[in-house]
């Protein structure tokens, strides 16, 4: 079921990107110079292997369907959506983590993941877990650009960053860790206020990446958080009584609508940018 959902998300994202960014047909040659990934466990291809945290996917049963059936740090039985997107867009077969000490120059030039499982847009989300917030992921991206310039030169590095597909996928942990389960942010925000707080952070991050040369963005909305096992388990003591938390799902739907409305406004303020919204919620909801 998980593989089917991931495939449908991939198909949905690729359809949006292909419609908005090039042709309606998936390319046989790369239309993007690289793929750059920021976010949480949905797109972390192994960075948490190289930091001090309990949030790691480098053990069984993770990786049982991956090459050699070995765990890679991906929170998945096999590849993640970024890997499938990179492959479908003819960029590369899989996306390596930036923190991998054995990352080759060739791999770096076609893109990496800066994402960290357990992360979020809100720095407070990562305080207890020690994972990498999106704000620090962007600091790693700056180091990436420096290394890229050292490999291909400043002019070609600029072309690679300008032509790269930037994928951002986070937010679930912000609501789960900071608002619903451990109500830290509820002390200062109501749900609408926290939604706006996070989306202000998103605006800031996109603008910062734009100022660093990025132009093509795919921004993922949130899934039905109220149907995540961790959320249902936290609310229902009896396993058989578990059901989706519709109030949390409604919050997510409102958040996603706000985000979908916000992104064209951000694009209008950033000349030459292209920002597309990936509606993960509806993709999962339709095929659950």
Q: Which of 185, 68, 76 lies closest to 120, judged by CA?
A: 185
Q: What is the mean pLDDT of residues 147-170?
A: 97
d(CA 220, CA 169): 5
CATH number at 256 reads 3.40.50
* Confidence category of residue 20, pLDDT binned at 50, 70, 90: very low
Residue with tokens 């890679």: 72
pLDDT tens-digit readout, 162-178 = 999 999 999 999 999 89
DSSP bridge pairs for 225: none
Crossing angle of helices 81-88 and 2-21, rounded to 10°: 40
For position 4, what pLDDT does the model report?
44
The domain containing residue 30 runs over which residues? 2-286
- Going 177 to 2 to 112 to 273, the CA torsion angle's sign is negative
Residue 2 pLDDT > 90, yes or no?
no
Residue 213 pLDDT > 50, yes or no?
yes
**pTM (2 decimals)?**
0.90
Number of domains making up the chain: 1
For position 67, what pLDDT does the model report?
78
pLDDT tens-digit readout, 271-286 = 999 999 999 888 776 5
């Amino acid at each position: 079921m998980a593989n089917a959902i991931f495939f449908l998300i991939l198909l949905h994202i690729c359809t949006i990107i292909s419609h908005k960014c090039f042709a309606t047909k998936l390319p046989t040659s790369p239309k993007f110079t690289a793929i750059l990934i920021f976010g949480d466990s949905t797109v972390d291809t192994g960075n948490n292997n190289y930091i001090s945290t309990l949030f790691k996917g480098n053990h069984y049963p993770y990786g049982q369907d991956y090459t050699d059936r070995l765990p890679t740090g991906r929170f998945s039985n096999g590849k993640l959506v970024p890997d499938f997107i990179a492959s479908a867009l003819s960029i590369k077969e899989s996306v390596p983590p930036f923190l991998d000490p054995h990352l080759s120059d060739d791999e770096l030039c076609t893109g990496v993941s800066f994402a960290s499982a357990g992360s979020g847009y809100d720095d407070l989300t990562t305080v207890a877990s020690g994972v990498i917030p999106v704000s620090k992921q962007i600091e790693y991206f700056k180091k990436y650009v420096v290394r890229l310039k050292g490999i291909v030169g400043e002019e070609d590095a600029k072309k690679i960053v300008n032509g790269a597909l930037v994928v951002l996928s986070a937010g679930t942990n912000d609501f789960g860790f900071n608002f619903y389960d451990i109500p830290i942010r509820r002390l200062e925000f109501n749900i609408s206020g926290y939604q706006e707080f996070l989306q202000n952070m998103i605006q800031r991050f996109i603008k910062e990446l734009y100022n660093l040369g990025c132009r093509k963005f795919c921004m993922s909305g949130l899934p039905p958080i109220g149907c995540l096992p961790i959320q249902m388990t936290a609310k229902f003591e009896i396993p058989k009584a578990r059901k989706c938390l519709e109030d949390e799902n409604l919050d997510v739907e409102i958040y996603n609508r706000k985000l979908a409305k916000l992104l064209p406004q951000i694009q209008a303020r950033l000349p030459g940018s292209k920002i597309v919204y990936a509606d993960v919620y509806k993709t999962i909801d339709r095929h659950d």
